[in-house]
Structure 1
Amino acid sequence: MINEYEKLLAGLDDVNWAGLDHAYGSAEDVPGHIRALCGSDDEARKQAGMSLSNSIFHQGSRYSASPVAVPFLARIAVAGPAAAREDAMWLLTRLAVDWHDEYDVTTGINVTGWRAAAAEVGPEELLPWYEEQVAAAADADKRAQAQELRDWVAAGNSPDSRWSALQSYDAVLAELPGLLVLLDDDDARLRTRIAYLLAWFPEFSSTSLPRLLSLAAREEDPVTAATALLAAGILGTTSTAGEITPYLDAADPLMRWAAATALIRLAALDDASLGPGLLGRAVAELAAAAREPFDRVTDYCEGDLHAHIERTLHALPPGADPAVVRETLDACLPRIVWDYYGTRTRRAIEELFLAPQQDLAPRYADLTLAQQQLLGDLAGHRHDWLIRSSADRLRDRGLPCTREALQTFVGAPSETPRSDLGRDIGAPRTVV
């Protein structure tokens, strides 16, 4: 442990971690992992980050230990070792919002609805039901099991993910005032991380919105600037459109895309806020990005630019040119970068390969450009499960239905699939 960082962990050992839980049971190992984040051993630090990601945030789930870890992670993000700060911010973001949360990247997070849903499944509301289960248990074993669950709920827990995730979200919300200093950090990656995190806290927008607009105006790093600009669009009101519109003329296409996406979100709040001409310009920028995607992307929609454009277009108010919208959606259809649930992939296969093949399997050279793009994206995709979930549709159309067969078919070099965990903590990322 590096002594200079010991002060960041004040109170860490005062927490009854053994009385808290995470994905694998007791959370008594959490303080050791948090402490290792501030250590001098790089390998131990990376392993600690992975362990925290797997335990207090496990495939989107949060636990009683998750919100308790938040203040320590926030301190590390602000003043910890350089090697640990970005990982701490990444984990804070994941503890606040993630793919299982009820939010839409094009319109922002619906905190009011989330709070209403969580209030219905909180410990106080569920406790009477669990007490009824104890009373109705038919034998001693079932009664003991029911009593254990009842005691767990009585201790302030809920089995509903909407409630448990909200506890972590609120813990991060409480740390935002102290995290704002990262907007002026020397490290562009940390400025990016805080700008992205702020986008999901509308309750903090009176403080964060002007700072995000200021960051977008002065920022030299295009990814950071675009992240801040779109965050402002997600948090803003229709009056924010006037401050975002000039960025449609920015030299960097990533900034133009961010401005266009932000303006469409604001137009969805009030379709009178943008005239048809301005809305048409915004849609044209999305069309340009879909045709010629940039190498640099933001974290929105997990860095999947085409999926984000597609979702943005589905939120369009009336007034855009239907032909341009259709052309843009067609350009997005075969591009598969992330796709958690496989729905975009299966729809793309069905729309681009209209019917099962009756004759011999098609040749790659005879496919359309869009068909080649889809199969090429699948051949190079990071997760085998996405191909497996679509295997029946591929097979029905006479197409290769395994990663190896797809790589051979499209002439792509084989590669070892990467794990989900490297995407989150302790590994290099192409999305910043």
Structure 2
Amino acid sequence: MINEYEKLLAGLDDVDWASLSHAYQSAEDVPGHLRTLCGNDDEAREQAFKSLFISIFHQGSRYSASPVAVPFLARIAVAGPAAAREDTMWLLTRLAVDWHDEYDVTTGINVTGWRAAAAEVGPEDLLPWFEEQVAAATDADQRAQAQELRDWVAAGNSPDSRWSALQSYDAVLAELPGLLVLLDDADARLRTRIAYLLAWFPEFNATSLPRLLALAAREEDSVTAATALLAAGLVSPVSTVGDITPYLDAADPLMRWAAATALIRLAALDEAPAGPGLLGRAIAELAAAARSPFDRVTDYCDGDLHAHIERTLHSLPPGSDPAIVRETLHACLPRIVWDSSGSRTRRAFEKLFHAPQPHPAPRYADLTAAQQQLLHDLAGHRHAWLIRSSADRLRELGLPHTQEALQSFVGAHRGA
């Protein structure tokens, strides 16, 4: 342990970690992992981060240890070893919002609805039911198991994921005032990470909104600036249309995309508050981004620009130009950067390949541009499971149905 970082973990040993849980039962290992994050062994630090990630945030689930770890993680993010700070911000973001929220939501988090749902499944509401299960148990083993669950709920826990996730979200919310210093950090990656985190906290917008707009205005790194601008659009009220509109004329296409996305979100709140002309400009900017994607993208929608554009267009208020919307959705259709459920990939096959291909398989160059793009994206996709889940459809179409075969097919024929 490096002495200069000991103060970041003040109070760590005062926590009864043995009484808390994570994905692998007892959370007694959490303090050791947190200490290792502040150590000088890079390999051990990396392993500690992975262990924390899969235990206190396991496949989207949060546990009783998750919110308790948040204050220590926040201190490390602000003043910990340089090698640990960005990873720690990633973990704080995951503890606040599940990756499914980050991927699927383009109009901001509905915290009001989340709180209402969580209130219905809180420990105080569920405890009577668990007490009934204890009373109804017919044998000693069943009664012991029911009693254990009843005591766990009586201690302030809920088995419902909406409730447990909200506890971590609120723990991160409480740390946001201290994390704001990262907006002025020398490392652009940390400025990006805090801007992205703030996008998921509309309840904090009185404090965060002016700072996000200021960061977007002064920031030289395009990804950081675009992240901050869209974050401002996701947490802001309709009255900020005037602050965001000038960025539709920015030289950087990534900033224009962020402004357009933010303005469409605001239009959905109030049926085009700035008029149809401005909404049309925003839609046109998304169309341009879909046709000519950027070399660098933000983390919204897990970096999947075309999926994000799709979801933004689907949130449009009634009366938007149907022709340009259809054209843009068609441009997005074959672009598969990340597809958490496989639904976009299935839809792309359905729309782009209407019948089995002739045997033997056609040359890559004989396919339409959209068909080529879909197969190209799948051939180089980072998750092999997506290709495996599409194998039957590829086989039906007479096309290569493994990632290796697709890579060979695309590579051999691309220039033919």
**TM norm structure 2:** 0.96
Instruction: Kindly state the Cα deviation for residue 272 of structure 1 after the two structures are TM-superposed.
Output: 3.8
In the alignment, the residues of structure 2 paired with residue 100 and residue 245 of structure 1 have an alpha-carbon distance, to the nearest angstrom, of 29
8 Å CA contact retained: 2:130, 2:149: yes
Number of matched pairs = 412
Q: Which amino acid aligns with 1:397?
A: L
Q: Which amino acid aligns with 1:389?
A: S
1:33-432 matches, within 5 Å, as 33-101=33-101, 104-357=104-357, 360-411=360-411
**What CA distance in whole angstroms lies between the structure 2 residues aligned with 1:358 and 1:411?**
20
Shift of 1:392: 2.0
Q: How many Å separate the matches in 2 of 1:264 and 1:160?
A: 33
Question: In the TM superposition, what is the alpha-carbon distance from 1:200 to its structure 2 partner?
Answer: 0.5
Normalising by the residue count of structure 1, what TM-score does the alignment of the two structures yield? 0.93
Q: Which moved more, 1:141-150 or 1:70-79?
A: 141-150
Separation in structure 1 between the aligned mates of residue 138 and residue 386 of structure 2, nearest angstrom: 44
What are the superposed Cα offsets for residues 43-75 of structure 1, whole Å, 9 maximum, x if unpaired?
A: 111111111111101111110000000000000
Distance 2:227 2:103 in 1: 17
Tell me if the contact between 1:121 and 1:160 (Cα under 8 Å) persists in the aligned partners.
yes
Give ranges in structure 1 of 5+ residues lacking alignment: 413-432
* 2:67 counterpart letter in structure 1: P
Name the structure, 1 or 2, with higher relative contact order (CA <8 Å, separation 6+): 1
Task: Give the ranges of 4+ consecutive aligned residues of structure 1 lying more than 6 Å apart after TM superposition.
Answer: none
Given that residues 222 and 255 in structure 2 are in contact (C-alpha distance below 8 angstroms), is that contact kept between their aligned partners in structure 1?
yes
Q: Structure 2: which amino acid aligns with 1:107?
A: T
- Which of the two has greater helix per residue? 2
**CA distance 1:338–1:290, shift in 2 (3 Å):** same
Structure 2: segments with no counterpart, 5+ residues? none
Deviations 1:227-281 (A, max 9, x none): 0100111111111010101001111110000001001111111124122221111
Q: CA deviation at 1:359?
A: 5.3
CA distance in 2, matches of 1:79, 1:282: 39
Paired with 1:243 and 1:138, the residues of 2 have a C-alpha distance of 65
Question: Does structure 2 conserve the Cα–Cα contact (< 8 Å) formed by 1:350 and 1:393?
Answer: no
Map of 2:17 onto structure 1:
17
- Report which stretch shifted further, 160-169 or 132-141: 132-141
> Is 1:7 matched with 2:7?
yes
Q: Distance in 1 between the 2:234 and 2:367 partners?
A: 39
Letter in 1 for 2:170: D
**CA RMSD, 1 decimal:** 1.4
Could you tell me the percent identity over the aligned residues?
86
CA distance in structure 1 between the aligned counterparts of 2:88 and 2:206, rounded to whole angstroms? 25
User: Cα gap change, 1:267/1:223 in structure 2, threshold over 3 Å: closer, same or farther?
Assistant: same
The answer to which of 325-334 and 149-158 deviates more is 149-158
The CA distance in 2 between the partners of 1:121 and 1:180, in whole Å, is 32
Shift of the 133–103 alpha-carbon distance from structure 1 to 2, 3 Å rule, reads farther
Mapped to 2, the partners of 1:147 and 1:340 lie a distance apart of: 38
1:282 positional shift:
0.7
Following TM superposition, by how much is the alpha carbon of 1:167 offset from its aligned partner in structure 2, in angstroms? Answer: 0.4
